[in-house]
Structure formats: C-alpha cells, structure tokens
A and B are shown apart, each in its own frame.
Chain A
C-alpha cells in the first residue's frame, strides 16, 4: 500500500490532534469566546476557551476591566461572582465595557481560607458564568482543583494572582491613550504573544503602530 507523502505541517497537525485527544483538550477548547481578531488567531481554539481557569496579572484596574469585558462575551445566562478580600472594585467603571451589573454578585471574603472556598464553590455552580477573584497565590493542587471544578460546571475562572497551573496566563498593563499592552505569557497548546489593544466604540481592537504614532502626535500637539 502506498502512503501519500505528507507534508511536515500535516504531520504536526495530526500529532497535535492526537495529543489533544489524549489530554482531553478538544472538549475543553470546545467553547471559546473571541477576544480580538489578532489575538484569537494565535489561540488554539480560535478564541479563549471557556470552562477553565485563566490567570490575569498586571495593573489591577486593567486586569478587572479586561476580565469584566471577557465575562460579557460568555454566551451563557447566569451570574458573575466577583470575590475579593477587601472592597476595591468600583463597578461603575465597568459600564463602558458592556457589563450588566444586575448579574454580578460581589463577595467579600477576608480570610484566605474563606476566599478559596468561595471561589471553588462558585466555580462548581452551573448557574455561574464566570468567577473573577483576587487570589494571591494558588499551589499546584489547588489550581488543579479549581480547573476540575470549572470543567465540571462549565464556569470560567478569571483569577488575578499567581496560579501554579492555568490554561492561559495574561499580563495587562496600561499604555498611553487608553491603550492596553496585552501579553499572553502562556497558553496551553498555543504560543505566547503580545499586542497593543484599545477599547474603542464598544470593541477591543488592535492599535497598530501607525495609529499609535498618530495618537501620540495628537497628544503632543494638544499638550
């Protein structure tokens, strides 16, 4: 029997698929949400996978806004839990990102033990769309438990802190002119990347270098 010569690309794609099946990844990456065209292109499922744990680090305001706007894109009817040890969230700032505050529940858990319990219970609930939580640190065992909880219910966790294990790991920091520098530090089955994005007219778009220069010039003139 003659085997058709396969290009290296095909071989790689086949292998990836095989590994994904072994890891149970297709199910995991089955449902995704779009972040922004250029970013989606590098993510394995052509979007951010749901029902798993994402770690987001960086400037607290940007982190909350980024997670908040991602939570609005999840096509599931349910509530969003925001869990933090001290009240630092000011939800009015999230309104421009299309966040529906009536679906949000804010939980203040002062003790770290209570906080992780709440996050875990929240992720297990099938009526929860997303859990946004300020967790300082989570070890490998606990990260895995969170991941399993999210998989079991389909809820998505956006956790602000150092997770020992996560499906994707992001860093968001501010750049001038209301822009964000979005860095994908780690992505299971994908490659890291970095983009300059901005929230314009209800969309997250890539701010190309030219556009940035333009804006910078404008500012210089104005200043």
Chain B
C-alpha cells in the first residue's frame, strides 16, 4: 500500500515564538486523533502520516474536510493537502488549488507549482529563480548532473523526494505507541460511567491483542478528545507486565474519575507506551484462564494500586547488597525495577532493626580504657552503659567514591541500665586534630 501524507499549512500562527510553539504543540497533540504519526514540519505546518487511516473517517476527502473544518472552527486559518509523498503534500498545501493528488496525477499537479514548493533554502530558491527555473516542472529539462554541480545535492534530493523517487521518513513528535486502540463515539459522552464502559471495551480489545503477541502492558495512556478541542489524558503504570482486563480496569477506574470531560468526549485512544514479554502460564486444574492467576495477580494488582496512589518510589522491595557498610548493605528498591538476587548477609553481624537517619549526635563523657563508652547523653537523657560489645570497625570501600566522605567508624552494641540496646559509632577523621564524635545509628531489639 502506498503512503498517504497529509500536510496542513497554518497561515496565521502567532508571531511570538513561544506562543507560536504552544499553539502548534496543542494542534499536533490534537491531530493524533487522526493518526499516530504526527510531526511538526518546521515551516509553519503539520504533517500527518495517514496511511491506512483515511477509511476510518470516510475517505481522504472526508478526512481532509473534517480536519480543516474543526481547525477553522477553533479560529485558526488552515489549508491542507493529501498526496503520496511528503514533499508533494507540502507543496500542494501551500501553492496549489488541487488538494488531493494520488498516484499518477502527481507529476501533472506538481509541475506547474513554483519552485518554492521544493522546501529548499532561500538562497538556493533565489538562485534558481534568477536562472529562470521558476516552476518545478522546469527542472525536468535540465540534466540531473548539471543540477547537482550548480545547486548542490540537496536540490536533487528534494526533487526526488517530492516525486517519490526517494522515500522520506516522517519523524513523529512522539514515538507512536506499540499498541494503540481508538474509539470514535457517535455521540459525545461526559458521564463517568459511560467513559468507564468505553474504556472497558478498549481494554478488552487491547488485552486480546496483547495475549496474541505474548506481551503484557507496563505503561498505558488514555487520551480523551473533547468536543471543545481539548485533550484530557491519564496514565497507568504496572510493576509487572499485565494483560488482565480486571486488573487494568481497577487501575483505570481510579483515574477515570479525575478526567475532565468538559462538554463531552467524542474520541478515546488507549495506547500502550511500554510493554514486556509475558508468556502465558501453564494451565492448572484450578486456574483455567491463562492470563489470570488469581493468587499472584491479586497481589500485583494491590502493589500497582498502592504505587499509583503513593508513587512507585515509595513501594520497595528489600535488597541485600554485597557490602558491610550499613548504608549500602540494604537497598530499598522500587518494585518497578527488575528483581535482582540478594546477597547473603553474615548473621553474626548483628544489626539494628530501627534505624536512626541521619545518625543522632550523642555526648560520651567517660570512655573505658579499652575504648568503649561508659556513659552517654542524648540531649538531656543520660544513660549509663552496662554492657558493650565492639568495636566493629568499618572502613569505607576504596572503590566506592561516594562512601569516602568519612574515614573510619567504630561501631559498638551497647545496653544501658534500663535494658535498652543501641547501636552507636565513633567517627575518626583523617585529621587527628578533630575531636572524635559519637553518633547513635539505630536501636537493637
């Protein structure tokens, strides 16, 4: 199937750059309702790759009419054209009366157009005009070799692109989603229940496709195109690949309420932004549905819902790392990260359960000749130490730069006269002149 490109020329964009950019970005995002591939052509226009999209709107002409009517209704002047190549659509939108040119009509439509339609730098266009090459058709009379030597290779490239001899890629302003499902509604809807119903249909269709491909969604986005031209979006993330309708719907139902439907939503697009491989599980006698293993899934769903509400950075697995430094030995790792194996922790190295972070400064008045403290003070609270174990000397690992802030720490496990157990340390700095400082690091059970 040959490609179809639609070019929109917006003739009265605001002059002020930031304002112009804002208007254009909004239009580009809105144009996504017609095609997943939409790009800014950097010359006051928008390009849509509508290959295979036109039939959804009743053909090319109907699509062009629809898009132009809507943009004009929003108070923006626009001229659009559809052709088989980007170059041709670009030129037609700006310089031709004929707006839909398909197949063999292309040379005929393109030849009479002015040379400015070739998207060449201004100085090249001026030079071409000076030698009398005012229309695109005029180039056919000159040899290709001569064109290259006089006006550079880019002139030839633009010419070939316009006529379709060289394929030209459209770089979308955002990557088209690997899975995307669109639903245009006959009547705009605003009621949350109705939106949820449509989303459920989209999710069901999506899950079927995901299952066929042995994949599961990790990040989804729902775009709601409103009648007033605005786009409301909401996103959902999961900690593991998911393709269960029930699971996704529970995540979406919490988000759908936040969507501002305005005067009604007329088109919804559900896209998967990230996905992962998800092979169907072995069927067991108790679980007939390969996509739903209730036991595991109920938990994944819970984690996703907690993550969506609190942020996934606050929902973590506990991972033991290969390090003796307490700050590094244990990592709180987000559930979104892939699972990595745990290191083995030598249990004879007793560690606190309750962590004091940052370490609390304590005053140690008396020190045993062996080096262990005899009495310490936390603020006004003085504690007499009955028992102490240590020191356990930990030095920063030389290969880790970030941990080399301090030099050496001597850790002690101590028990005071009330039975409370603490994990304290004394810090030594390289400069011997500094007083040694004591800190409370944690509480032992």
A-side residues, CB < 8 A to B, are: 59-62, 64-66, 68, 78-79, 87-96, 101-102, 104-110, 114, 117-118, 121-122, 125-128, 173-180, 199, 219, 222-223
Q: Whole-angstrom distance between the alpha carbons of A175 and B419 in the complex? A: 4
Contact B315 A60 (CB under 8 A): no
Within the complex, the shortest CB–CB distance from B281 to chain A, in Å, comes to 15
Given A104-B318, A121-B305, A219-B387, are A173 and B353 neighbors across the interface (CB < 8 Å)? no
Could you pull out 27 A-B pairs where Cβ atoms are within 8 angstroms? A61-B352, A61-B444, A64-B353, A68-B353, A87-B355, A88-B356, A90-B326, A90-B353, A90-B442, A91-B330, A92-B351, A93-B444, A93-B445, A94-B353, A95-B345, A95-B347, A105-B303, A106-B315, A107-B310, A107-B316, A108-B315, A118-B306, A118-B310, A122-B306, A128-B302, A174-B419, A179-B419
Q: Whole-angstrom distance between the alpha carbons of A156 and B206 in the complex? A: 37
Q: Which residues of chain A are within 8 angstroms of B345 by Cβ–Cβ distance?
A: 92, 95
Q: Whole-angstrom distance between the alpha carbons of A175 and B420 in the complex? A: 7
Q: Whole-angstrom distance between the alpha carbons of A108 and B332 in the complex? A: 11
Contact A105 B445 (CB under 8 A): no
Q: Whole-angstrom distance between the alpha carbons of A96 and B445 in the complex? A: 11
Q: Which residues of chain B are within 8 angstroms of A95 by Cβ–Cβ distance?
A: 345, 347, 351
Q: Whole-angstrom distance between the alpha carbons of A210 and B296 in the complex? A: 49
Closest 7 CB pairs of A and B: A65-B445, A127-B299, A93-B353, A61-B443, A90-B355, A61-B354, A92-B351
Contact B419 A176 (CB under 8 A): yes
Q: Whole-angstrom distance between the alpha carbons of A41 and B305 in the complex? A: 41
Contact A126 B295 (CB under 8 A): yes
Chain B facing A: main interface SS: mixed
Contact A61 B445 (CB under 8 A): yes
Q: Which residues of chain B are within 8 angstroms of A91 by Cβ–Cβ distance?
A: 318, 330, 353
Contact B353 A128 (CB under 8 A): no
Contact B386 A108 (CB under 8 A): no
Q: Whole-angstrom distance between the alpha carbons of A110 and B314 in the complex? A: 9
Contact B306 A60 (CB under 8 A): no
Contact B309 A117 (CB under 8 A): yes
Contact B320 A101 (CB under 8 A): yes
Q: Which residues of chain B are within 8 angstroms of A117 by Cβ–Cβ distance?
A: 309
Contact B354 A90 (CB under 8 A): yes
Given A61-B444, A93-B350, A114-B310, are A88 and B419 neighbors across the interface (CB < 8 Å)? no
Q: Which residues of chain A are within 8 angstroms of B383 by Cβ–Cβ distance?
A: none
Chain A CB within 8 A of B181 CB: no
Q: Whole-angstrom distance between the alpha carbons of A71 and B80 in the complex? A: 67
A107-B316, A219-B387 are known; give 11 further A-B pairs, CB within 8 A.
Answer: A61-B442, A92-B329, A93-B352, A93-B442, A105-B335, A108-B314, A114-B310, A122-B306, A127-B299, A174-B418, A178-B421
Chain A CB within 8 A of B298 CB: yes
Q: Whole-angstrom distance between the alpha carbons of A66 and B350 in the complex? A: 16
Q: Which residues of chain B are within 8 angstroms of A128 by Cβ–Cβ distance?
A: 299, 302
Chain A CB within 8 A of B342 CB: yes
Chain A CB within 8 A of B357 CB: yes
Query: A60, A78, A106, A176: which contacts B386 (Cβ < 8 A)?
Result: A176
Q: Whole-angstrom distance between the alpha carbons of A110 and B315 in the complex? A: 12
Q: Whole-angstrom distance between the alpha carbons of A199 and B332 in the complex? A: 27
Q: Whole-angstrom distance between the alpha carbons of A14 and B296 in the complex? A: 42
Within the complex, the shortest CB–CB distance from B264 to chain A, in Å, comes to 32
Q: Which residues of chain A are within 8 angstroms of B443 by Cβ–Cβ distance?
A: 59-61
Q: Which residues of chain A are within 8 angstroms of B377 by Cβ–Cβ distance?
A: none
Q: Whole-angstrom distance between the alpha carbons of A39 and B288 in the complex? A: 44
Q: Which residues of chain A are within 8 angstroms of B310 by Cβ–Cβ distance?
A: 107-109, 114, 118
Contact A223 B386 (CB under 8 A): yes
Chain A CB within 8 A of B415 CB: yes
Contact B318 A96 (CB under 8 A): no
Query: A79, A88, A105: which contacts B355 (Cβ < 8 A)?
Result: A88
Within the complex, the shortest CB–CB distance from B289 to chain A, in Å, comes to 17
Contact B316 A125 (CB under 8 A): no
Which B residues from 33 to 53 make CB contacts under 8 A with A?
none
Q: Which residues of chain A are within 8 angstroms of B353 by Cβ–Cβ distance?
A: 61, 64-65, 68, 89-91, 93-94
Within the complex, the shortest CB–CB distance from A94 to chain B, in Å, comes to 6
Contact A61 B421 (CB under 8 A): yes
Q: Which residues of chain A are within 8 angstroms of B330 by Cβ–Cβ distance?
A: 90-92
Q: Which residues of chain A are within 8 angstroms of B55 by Cβ–Cβ distance?
A: none
Q: Which residues of chain A are within 8 angstroms of B319 by Cβ–Cβ distance?
A: 101
Closest A residue, CB atoms, query B443:
A61
Q: Whole-angstrom distance between the alpha carbons of A104 and B326 in the complex? A: 19
Within the complex, the shortest CB–CB distance from A113 to chain B, in Å, comes to 10
Within the complex, the shortest CB–CB distance from B47 to chain A, in Å, comes to 45
Given A91-B330, A173-B419, are A127 and B335 neighbors across the interface (CB < 8 Å)? no
Q: Which residues of chain A are within 8 angstroms of B421 by Cβ–Cβ distance?
A: 61, 174, 178
Which B residues from 294 to 352 make CB contacts under 8 A with A?
295-296, 298-299, 302-303, 305-306, 309-310, 314-320, 326, 329-330, 332, 335, 342, 345, 347, 350-352
Q: Which residues of chain B are within 8 angstroms of A88 by Cβ–Cβ distance?
A: 354-357
Q: Whole-angstrom distance between the alpha carbons of A59 and B295 in the complex? A: 35
Q: Which residues of chain A are within 8 angstroms of B418 by Cβ–Cβ distance?
A: 174
Q: Which residues of chain B are within 8 angstroms of A176 by Cβ–Cβ distance?
A: 386-387, 415, 419
Closest B residue, CB atoms, query A62:
B445
Contact A101 B299 (CB under 8 A): no
Contact A60 B419 (CB under 8 A): no
